Chains A and B, each alone.
Chain A
Amino acid sequence: MASLLAVESATKRFGGLVANRSVSFGIEAGEIVGLIGPNGAGKTTLFNCITGYMHPDEGRLAFDGTDITHMRPEAICGLGIARTWQIVRAFGRMTALENVVCGALKRTNRVSEARARARELIDFTGLEGRADMPAATLTLADKKRLEIARALATQPRLLLLDEAMSGLTPFEASMAVQLVRRIHVELKVTLCVVEHVMEVVMPLSHRVVVLDYGTKIADGAPENVVRNELVISAYLGERRAAR
């Protein structure tokens, strides 16, 4: 069976800089895949290529058998991929509820139906009580939850989370991990989670893909990946790895 998402030899260059060098990996339906790597490894670029904000210079991307290599973001969302942003992008002047309504309107033209769906997701993500606050006034942790609720409202089959836990306190991060688990179990959504914090991503992921300088250096179960020499050297440096 073909993967839900297939990335085949994707290469993305910015002038002389190669942000992704012939990266290949797949995401199977029902998985939680962690995408990790040091800062500047090319994780966000890869996300942007998958979600249509950028297009790879070489290679091919397919979602559920459909070629999405050159599709626009709104079309890719229509197929069932949703994302959140490393630097939060809530609709600041709209209320939290209205943010989620905008997402729900992808699947219905009726505002009353979209509002009902949005209420459910506001509750699901633990934002009840903040539904009518302008999104710009929410805390960072709540804004990140709001982005997840808004993305879920588009009814994705694959949800890409770009550093949904960075910048949060340890308690907030543990709540976010719980939320990700509930999305996976209760909503049956496949997830790809970008993080550079190993402690967060390792216990959460079924499988981990590691990028370093734009190249995939490891792909496997978390317990195997942490023992991979290339991964250790990428994170801790050459000398430590050589010992």
Chain B
Amino acid sequence: MRRIALALGVLAAIVYPIPLQLQGYTYYQTVGFLVLITAMLGLGWNVIGGWAGQFDFGPQVFFAVGAYVAALLFVRRGVDAWLGMLAAVAVAMALCAVLTYPLTGLRGHYFAIATVAIWMIAQPIGATWEFIGGSQGLFIPVKPHAGVVSTALSLQFTGPMKALGYYYSALVLFAVTLALMAWVERSKLGYYFRAVRDDQEAAEGIGIDSRRYKVVARSVTAAVFAAAGVLYAFWALSVFPEQVLELNWGTLPIMATVVGGIGRLWGPVLGAVILIPISQIMSTTLGTGPLAGRGIDLIVYGIIIILIAAFRPTGLLSLPWGRWLR
């Protein structure tokens, strides 16, 4: 049952954009791209928020760090996107470790407030630091590449193939993230994260350095956010503070994780597959026509999220699917 569902999911994810592409559409490929990025970010946030149980409301800082590092390396040094992504992940993890260690003495709401505070500090830095382009940010020039392989390696898709190229790039990154997280969940890290979440004192009593594992958990989250930030920057062809430090890069993946099932591997994936298309459908149906410009689409979208959260606060994956599907 599980295997069949997984195989169908993989097949659907690979085949989904092809008929659309053949008919000349690109919109739905971009929706798919957003679903995959949100799912990937949710998988990352699930480590600190779901398994380690620490409410991090500022992961978007590392999305921005990733985007800036790769963009700077590309614009100033001509370093390719994928190589830049490795550097971005390394910088984000190191920065996260340094910033998070002092926070790990805080618990519950205080930890959450501190993560928000770091995001608030990052905003004026992003807007005024000339080295990274200040409020103007950085523009990523397109360097044309010949051939599918060299285009894919450069992560610079253009023209009618742009949406399709980024969809599959996002699919690859998402799959890598999912595989890594599946490994983390079953490894010593996964056990220790959940032990710290369930009872920090008891965890220390069986030899778990709770502060160290909180730092490790948040650094894994930061790595995923940084990688996604790089992908997004090359898709948008620009990096500027208001765009990559936007609160939604944190709240959307958090909402997807909570709606789908916090602390469950597939929770953020399910949440992203549900929430992002709903938001797109709302904005294309209610966001146009006589009611356009009044934010009706966002209001309805918000109500849907509230209803899911009220109906099943532990997430849709916690419903007794096994019993229903038998």
Candidate in B186, B198, B202 with the most chain A CB atoms within 10 angstroms? B202
Q: How far is the CA of A106 from the CA of B202 in the complex (A)?
A: 13
Q: A105-B188, A105-B192, A111-B186 are in contact. Are A74 and B199 (CB under 8 A)?
A: no
Judged by DSSP, the binding face of B is helix
Q: How far is the CA of A106 from the CA of B187 in the complex (A)?
A: 13
Nearest-CB distance from A158 to chain B (Å)? 13
A13 at the interface (CB under 8 A from B): no
Give every chain A residue within 8 A of B191 (Cβ-Cβ): 94, 98, 101-102, 105, 111, 114
Give every chain A residue within 8 A of B204 (Cβ-Cβ): 53, 72-74, 77
When C-beta atoms are compared, the residue in chain A nearest to B200 turns out to be: A89
Inter-subunit contact B187/A111 (CB<8 Å): yes
**B198 is contacted by which of A53, A91, A106, A114 (Cβ under 8 Å)?**
A91
**B207 is contacted by which of A89, A106, A109, A147 (Cβ under 8 Å)?**
A106
- 0 or 1 for each of A14-38: is its CB under 8 Å from B? (1 = yes): 0000000000000000000000000
Q: How far is the CA of A105 from the CA of B187 in the complex (A)?
A: 10
Inter-subunit contact A151/B206 (CB<8 Å): yes
A56 at the interface (CB under 8 A from B): no
Inter-subunit contact B201/A102 (CB<8 Å): no
Inter-subunit contact B188/A106 (CB<8 Å): no
- 0 or 1 for each of A137-179: is its CB under 8 Å from B? (1 = yes): 0000000000100110110000000000000000000000000
Give every chain B residue within 8 A of A73 (Cβ-Cβ): 201, 204-205
Stretch from A4-12, A78-86, A190-198 contacting the other chain: A78-86
Total interface residues on A, CB under 8 Å, equals 30
Nearest-CB distance from A90 to chain B (Å)? 7
8 Å CB contacts to B: which residues of A89-124?
89-94, 98, 101-103, 105-106, 109, 111, 114
Q: A102-B191, A102-B192, A105-B192 are in contact. Are A94 and B198 (CB under 8 A)?
A: yes
B116 at the interface (CB under 8 A from A): no
**B208 is contacted by which of A74, A92, A111 (Cβ under 8 Å)?**
A74
B209 at the interface (CB under 8 A from A): yes
Give every chain A residue within 8 A of B188 (Cβ-Cβ): 105, 109, 111, 114
B239 at the interface (CB under 8 A from A): no
Range, interface on chain B: 20 to 34
**A82 is contacted by which of B199, B205, B208, B209 (Cβ under 8 Å)?**
B205
Q: A89-B201, A91-B195, A93-B194 are in contact. Are A106 and B206 (CB under 8 A)?
A: yes
B309 at the interface (CB under 8 A from A): no
Give every chain A residue within 8 A of B208 (Cβ-Cβ): 74, 102, 106
- 0 or 1 for each of B194-221: is its CB under 8 Å from A? (1 = yes): 1101110111111111100000000000
**B199 is contacted by which of A89, A111, A151, A153 (Cβ under 8 Å)?**
A89
When C-beta atoms are compared, the residue in chain A nearest to B212 turns out to be: A74
Q: How far is the CA of A94 from the CA of B203 in the complex (A)?
A: 13
Give every chain A residue within 8 A of B195 (Cβ-Cβ): 91, 94, 102
Q: A102-B192, A109-B188 are in contact. Are A77 and B207 (CB under 8 A)?
A: yes
Candidate in B191, B192, B205, B209 with the most chain A CB atoms within 10 angstroms? B205
Q: How far is the CA of A93 from the CA of B194 in the complex (A)?
A: 8
A125 at the interface (CB under 8 A from B): no
**A89 is contacted by which of B187, B197, B202 (Cβ under 8 Å)?**
B202
Inter-subunit contact B198/A92 (CB<8 Å): yes
**B206 is contacted by which of A92, A98, A154 (Cβ under 8 Å)?**
A154
A51 at the interface (CB under 8 A from B): yes
Q: How far is the CA of A85 from the CA of B202 in the complex (A)?
A: 8
Inter-subunit contact B205/A77 (CB<8 Å): yes
Q: How far is the CA of A51 from the CA of B204 in the complex (A)?
A: 10
Give every chain A residue within 8 A of B206 (Cβ-Cβ): 77, 82, 102-103, 106, 150-151, 153-154
Give every chain A residue within 8 A of B192 (Cβ-Cβ): 102, 105
Inter-subunit contact B203/A102 (CB<8 Å): yes
- What are 28 A-B pairs at a CB distance below 8 A? A73-B205, A74-B204, A74-B208, A77-B204, A77-B207, A78-B207, A83-B205, A85-B202, A85-B205, A89-B205, A90-B199, A91-B194, A91-B198, A91-B199, A98-B191, A101-B191, A102-B192, A102-B206, A103-B206, A105-B188, A105-B192, A106-B206, A106-B207, A106-B208, A111-B186, A111-B187, A151-B205, A154-B206
Inter-chain pairs besides A93-B194, A101-B191, 13 sampled, C-beta below 8 Å: A74-B204, A77-B205, A77-B206, A82-B206, A89-B205, A90-B202, A91-B198, A91-B202, A93-B198, A102-B192, A102-B208, A111-B187, A151-B205
Among all A-B residue pairs, the 7 with the closest Cβ atoms? A91-B198, A77-B207, A89-B202, A106-B207, A73-B204, A103-B206, A102-B195
B residues adjacent to A (C-beta < 8 A)? 186-188, 191-192, 194-195, 197-199, 201-210, 263
A residues adjacent to B (C-beta < 8 A)? 51, 53, 72-74, 77-78, 82-83, 85, 89-94, 98, 101-103, 105-106, 109, 111, 114, 147, 150-151, 153-154
